[in-house]
A and B are shown apart, each in its own frame.
Chain A
């Protein structure tokens, strides 16, 4: 029930879209996600799917059109990156608070500036409080599998929230790698048809989408939205379990790699986790008990589970591919550190800034992170501020000098 082949991360998402055959896709091109609407438009032109593609004039319109389609009762998707998503900003919040199950393929790229097209998480991390579910991938296989699960999560009656399926720009979106594709029949049955309960084109039912909410009621709407995000936790795991029964692929909130007995752990998101796994193996070969916690689901944030999984460690590096300019580190650093505090963990922690604007991360860089953790736990290293990994600089807060 599967085919082993090779394709890029963008092709993998396009293949998922082909199998899902959504009703509507409004999109505007932006590097490095441009290929996704391009592939979809080709599939439509070839008669492989009957999705209504709307070539809009901006990303603000793309998300607005997705909202309109979704509110009307259609299964709507879009794809974007970086500044494209920034231009959707206003509408991201409206889509989430209107409880519309839109699915977005986000190919992570840094927000400008300086102007740059490469991988960074500043786009999705900036939108972390917009009310969208966020699921990240290490490679082409994961982004494909995540996309296939997205509609089931978004459209679930306990959730009704939009989902963004993220992958690292160029690093996975444009790299051709081996992948296993699942057969159309079982996947179509798994994804199913979208049958909304309430929608604008429903006969004999009046519905307002996105009306003004007065203060005596607006806060309740926000609380209801927050509760939906909490309920999404169970749905995400249930859908993953069903996907595993179908494909054998295991997914959860996060992946633990050699973490059970690890003394030194790295927490990270995305493609760097593959590189970190090679570093874990190299450190283990040297007798260092290294481990990795790879976050897949960032919204809702599985803080309790992360705290439990990490609290036995001696030292933990939390890796951020996005600056907060808070002078305290990045978003992942803040949230994981809070989770560790609640779990009453006693580990030393360091929040490391890495990979900004596509700065490459080598296995040796990750080995150095583990080496720093060992020193940190032994009291031989101290970080006054959050360090940058692999910066072209000689300051004290640089972890590896080039």
Chain B
């Protein structure tokens, strides 16, 4: 197990990539880790490419730079594959997770020959089956935790339940759907062969 895991999120403004990064830091903290979760800020607007980062470690995190050699990359919107170099610096022994409805043969040529593991998740399908609305960050969060193994899945699900109970204290009907989305994403995420 790495003493430091670095994760980079690519998304579009409004999709919740920043929220996912901060949620991951939050839940990793609950699991006893040292964490750093932060977005890269600029002139934000809906739909523009955004980047967010997580550092999760067993030791104190002092560095304050962006992440250039991530262990894992999560791409919340597959249209970014055409415009953003999502595998830049990605470690070969790491992995990339992409939210897409497209088959692997369409996605793989867009990854510039990245030799590491590639995972796909249809977050829309997961969301529609569980939430009835498209919030891709919830399933993506579950999938990246599974792939990166930054924490035990049972601990993750338990801490997420606590966190969501708090977050949706006034909307308990949403809690169940979110938990289902997390569990379904864990089943649905698949590695490209």
Complex contact B64–A175 (CB within 8 A) = yes
Provide the bound-state CA to CA distance between A117 and B40, in Å: 11
Complex contact A277–B66 (CB within 8 A) = no
**Top 4 A-B pairs, shortest CB-CB distance:** A175-B38, A274-B62, A271-B64, A6-B29
Provide the bound-state CA to CA distance between A278 and B55, in Å: 14
Closest residue of A by beta carbon distance from B34: A178
Q: A32-B41, A274-B64, A363-B63 are in contact. List 11 more A-B contacts (CB 8 A).
A: A6-B26, A117-B43, A139-B64, A176-B35, A176-B36, A177-B35, A275-B65, A358-B41, A360-B66, A362-B68, A363-B65
Complex contact B66–A117 (CB within 8 A) = no
Complex contact A117–B63 (CB within 8 A) = no
Q: Tally A residues with Cβ within 8 Å of B.
A: 26
CB distance from B19 to the nearest CB of A (A): 11
Q: A6-B25, A6-B26, A178-B29 are in contact. Are A275 and B64 (CB under 8 A)?
A: yes
CB distance from B64 to the nearest CB of A (A): 4
In the complex, whether B22 has a CB less than 8 A from a CB of chain A is: yes
CB distance from A154 to the nearest CB of B (A): 28
Provide the bound-state CA to CA distance between A359 and B122, in Å: 35
Q: Mark A265-281, 1 if CB is under 8 A from B, else 0.
A: 00000011011011000
In the complex, whether B177 has a CB less than 8 A from a CB of chain A is: no
In the complex, whether A171 has a CB less than 8 A from a CB of chain B is: yes
Q: A6-B29, A275-B62 are in contact. Are A176 and B41 (CB under 8 A)?
A: no
Residues of B within 8 A of A358 (CB): 41
Instruction: Give the residue among A139, A172, A175 with the most B Cβ atoms within 10 A.
Output: A175
Provide the bound-state CA to CA distance between A131 and B22, in Å: 38
Residues of B22-59 contacting chain A, CB below 8 A? 22, 25-26, 29, 34-39, 41-43
Q: A6-B25, A6-B26, A6-B29 are in contact. Are A176 and B64 (CB under 8 A)?
A: no
CB distance from A358 to the nearest CB of B (A): 8
In the complex, whether A83 has a CB less than 8 A from a CB of chain B is: no
In the complex, whether B61 has a CB less than 8 A from a CB of chain A is: yes
Complex contact A362–B65 (CB within 8 A) = yes
Residues of B within 8 A of A168 (CB): 64
CB distance from A360 to the nearest CB of B (A): 5
Provide the bound-state CA to CA distance between A148 and B61, in Å: 23
Residues of A within 8 A of B39 (CB): 174
Instruction: Give the residue among A117, A118, A174 with the most B Cβ atoms within 10 A.
Output: A174
Q: Mark A78-118, 1 if CB is under 8 A from B, else 0.
A: 00000000000000000000000000000000000000011
Q: A6-B29, A274-B63 are in contact. Are A175 and B41 (CB under 8 A)?
A: no
Q: Which of B42, B61, B65 contacts A360 (CB 8 A)?
A: B65
Provide the bound-state CA to CA distance between A274 and B25, in Å: 19
Residues of A112-137 contacting chain B, CB below 8 A? 117-118
In the complex, whether A361 has a CB less than 8 A from a CB of chain B is: yes
Provide the bound-state CA to CA distance between A271 and B36, in Å: 13
Q: Which of A5, A118, A178, A272 contacts B64 (CB 8 A)?
A: A272
Closest residue of A by beta carbon distance from B23: A176
Q: Mark A325-365, 1 if CB is under 8 A from B, else 0.
A: 00000000000000000000000000000000010111100
Residues of A within 8 A of B63 (CB): 274-275, 278, 363
CB distance from B85 to the nearest CB of A (A): 15
In the complex, whether A28 has a CB less than 8 A from a CB of chain B is: no
Q: A176-B26, A275-B62, A278-B63 are in contact. Are A117 and B34 (CB under 8 A)?
A: no
Residues of B76-130 contacting chain A, CB below 8 A? none
Residues of B within 8 A of A361 (CB): 64-65
Provide the bound-state CA to CA distance between A360 and B22, in Å: 20
Closest residue of A by beta carbon distance from B24: A176
Task: List 12 contacting pairs A-B, 8 Å CB cutoff, sorted by A.
Answer: A5-B29, A6-B35, A168-B64, A176-B26, A177-B36, A177-B37, A177-B61, A272-B64, A274-B63, A274-B64, A278-B63, A362-B65
Closest residue of B by beta carbon distance from A177: B36
Residues of A within 8 A of B64 (CB): 139, 168, 171-172, 175, 271-272, 274-275, 361
In the complex, whether A264 has a CB less than 8 A from a CB of chain B is: no
Closest residue of B by beta carbon distance from A178: B34
